[in-house]
Amino acid sequence: MIKKFFSQPFFKDSQVIVLLVVGFLLLLIHTADFTLNVQSQEIKVPIRYSGYNESLSDKGHWLSLFVLVVFGIAMFVINSVIAIKVYRLRRSLAVALLLLNIVIMVFLILVSRALLNLV
């Protein structure tokens, strides 16, 4: 079963594999960086920006910041699975999904670093 899965043409295309590996490395960097730098606090921390609130942020428990890590993992897995399924039909769409995956991970790293600097 596993041998059949990895024998698909998706895994023989070096450009697609490089994009998949870069996305996975960005996911690992984001997860490790966020996990090592988040600090447990008894006070409420900013978890979401809002332009309608006077303080410009909503407050919540520090554990709710880990939603960013869960979002990164879920987004990587879903985009990768869709790219693998779509590759046989349209290679360009699979490459676009993997590039979008990388762009979103970079923005996710930037947003999580900004939130950690607020804490």
**Residue 58 confidence (pLDDT) above 60:** no
* Residue partners of 75: CB distance under 8 A and separation at least 6: 101, 104, 105, 108
pLDDT of the residue at 95: 92
Least confident of 54-58, 75-79, 85-89, 105-109: 54-58
pTM (2 d.p.) = 0.75
| N-terminal to C-terminal alpha carbon distance within the chain | 46
Give tens-digit pLDDT for 16-52: 999 999 999 999 999 998 888 877 665 555 555 555 5
Q: Are 20 and 79 in contact (CB under 8 A)?
A: no
| 87 burial via Cβ count (<10 Å: 0-12, 13-18, 19+) | buried
Q: Are 108 and 30 in contact (CB under 8 A)?
A: yes
Give tens-digit pLDDT for 86-110: 988 988 999 999 999 999 999 999 9
